[in-house]
Amino acid sequence: AGDTATGSNGSSSETAKNPDTERMQFVVVEGFQVGRGAARIDPADMARLGCQAGDIIMIEGARTTAAKVVPSANIDRGQRSIQMDSQVRQNSASGLGEHVSVHKARVSTAEKITILPLSGGAPIQESDLQYITRYLVGLPVTIGDLLRVGTPGTAPREFLIIGTNPATPAYTLQSRKTGELPIVETPAQGNDVEAVMVQPGTIVRAQARGANNGASHHVGYEDIGGLGKELQRIREMLELPLKYPAVFDRLGVEPPKGVLLYGPPGTGKTLIARVVATETKATFFIINGPEIINKFYGESESRLRSVFQEAQRKAPSVIFIDEIDALAPKRAESGGEVERRIVGQLLALMDGLESRGQVVIIGATNQPNALDPAIRRPGRFDREIALRVPDMRGRMEILQIHSRDAALANDVDLQRLAQLTPGFVGADLEALCREAAMIALRRVLPYIDYQRGYIPYETLVNLNISMADFQAALRE
Ligand code: ADP
């Protein structure tokens, strides 16, 4: 097995197609036991394509992929039909009864391929990689192919080929049917390889999934937008004591214990507390005011005590008390026995905190005036930061943050969107970006296989959020 590069080197830049290569249309028919990575066609058609059994062909459906060509059975001949292994068919994004275009592939030996595990589960081990390599040997692959491989003792896992050396074009999903999707034709040069063959010597690498994935997403200061000055103050107040307690000791000043963040809902209070904890490597505790009163009825005070104890044990810590007004309303007004006891407990815990800045409490409220003034006395929540509804520049920053990982079409004008969204807080702007992405997603929904439970990479590649999507999201 060596390189089997075929075809001429003539580079026809215009069509990116080798003019000498015969192309033929085939209708996709059902096939049984076609063989891994294979496609069956009439041997006469094979000859017309300039192929022999075992050669590699390119199959262009809604996506292009490669397959090993094998002769079809006698009864299936003479019909210009093609039978594909289910994985091949999936990768060609073609359905039964549809037409695909076929030509002989320009193939090269794969020196290296990089795979991205799609289904979750345990990280890929070296032994898995060896198994996957053995499975792939003899198969032609292209960038963007999806492969299902059963590793021993585990359910089949799905992988996406995200890189090959030499590189094949990144074949993405095209829309022939609706014309709605942007056609992202990767211009292949005349002598470029279209597919690579995995050989025993091919190095197979797994790309770790993005580290910031799901719940463990690392949040940092770069995730907070539109709060230049406020953020600076927050960092001074909280980061310094959490990170460098000795500084306060030396200066003989009392580090802040409690900081009150107030402002309308969705302005980033929770986000800030979380980021401060993450960035200072502090343990993060969250107490929800209404919840501790209602859900832990009768146990509210002991709950509070245990959080404070735990925070001291795991210092440095940040205790975030959301909707602190529920927990510590003006005593005079509420007059309730329960609230009175709880405020008393909270104050006692804060007063008793001997942490020298290693435990900070961040309270959040939409209505600072509803708070029991006792909790704002020195040594308690004695610092305050107001978070306002972001201005135009702030909105622009926040939009940038929430769209930075998204594939935005060239026409998306974030500045314009910031102009169109006065009164939007961070949470609204985040929702806007999410909604625009959903609208873009709905355009490609016909291509999403719900059975598989995830969105194929090639669909994502074609998923571009346009200005019209944002405008539609604004209208909703
Ligand atoms: P609050 O606690 O003030 O009600 P959150 O922090 O819960 O608001 O905000 C909800 C979400 O809105 C955040 O997780 C974040 O995605 C987004 N968000 C809010 N404010 C900002 C901001 N200033 N910058 C970036 N994103 C923000």
* Residue identifier of the C-alpha nearest atom 11 of ligand 1: 427
Q: Identify the CA nearest to 122 among candidates 163, 153, 161.
A: 153
Question: Which of 430, 432, 433, 435 to mutate to test ligand 1, by most ligand atoms within 8 A of the CB atom?
Answer: 430
Query: Does residue 194 contact residue 66 with C-beta atoms inside 8 Å?
Result: yes
CA of 299 to the centre of ligand 1 (A): 30
> What would the pLDDT profile of 343-399 be if each residue is shown by its tens digit?
889 999 998 887 677 899 999 999 888 888 888 988 899 889 999 999 999 999 999
Calculate how far, in angstroms, residue 402's C-alpha sits from the geometric centre of ligand 1. Answer: 11
Protein residue with least CA distance to atom 5, ligand 1: 268
Angle between helices 300-313 and 337-352 (to 10 degrees): 20
Q: Which helix (H) or strand (E) holds 271?
A: helix 269-279
Question: For position 16, what pLDDT does the model report?
Answer: 44
Q: Which residue has the higher pLDDT, 283 or 191?
A: 283
- 1-5, 60-64, 181-185 — which is least confidently predicted? 181-185
Instruction: State the pLDDT at residue 14.
Output: 37
For residue 88, which of 39, 33, 51, 55 has the smallest C-alpha distance? Answer: 39
Distance CA 474, CA 420 (A): 9
Contacts of 405 (CB under 8 A, 6+ apart): none
Residues 259-276: what's their mean pLDDT? 94
Instruction: Return the ligand 1 atom nearest residue 390 CA.
Output: 23
Strand segments (E) across 224-345: 258-262, 283-288, 317-322
Residue nearest to atom 7 of ligand 1 (CA): 270
Parallel, antiparallel or unpaired: strands 317-322 and 64-71: unpaired
- Quote the pLDDT of residue 332: 52
**Complex ipTM, two decimals?**
0.98
Cβ neighbourhood burial of 211 (10 Å; 0-12, 13-18, 19+): exposed
Q: What is the CA radius of gyration of the chain?
A: 30
Ligand 1 centre from 139 Cα, in Å?
Answer: 48
- Tell me how far the alpha carbon of residue 426 lies from the centroid of ligand 1, in angstroms: 5
Average pLDDT of span 278-286: 92
Q: If you average pLDDT over every residue of the chain, what do you get?
A: 81
> Is ligand 1 within 6 A of the CB of residue 266?
yes
Return the higher-pLDDT residue of 400 and 332. Answer: 400
Asked whether residue 216 carries a pLDDT value surpassing 70, the answer given is no
Is pTM beyond 0.80? Reply is no
| Spatial distance between the Cα atoms of 172 and 457, rounded to a whole number of angstroms | 8
Query: Which whole number is the average pLDDT over 91-117?
Result: 90
> What b/e string do you get for 305-322 counting C-beta neighbours within 10 Å, with b at 16 or more?
eebbeebbeebbbbbbbb
Give the 3-state secondary structure of 8-25. Answer: CCCCCCCCCCCCCCCEEE
Check if 432 has its Cβ closer than 6 Å to any atom of ligand 1.
no
Gap from CA of 275 to ligand 1 centroid (Å): 11
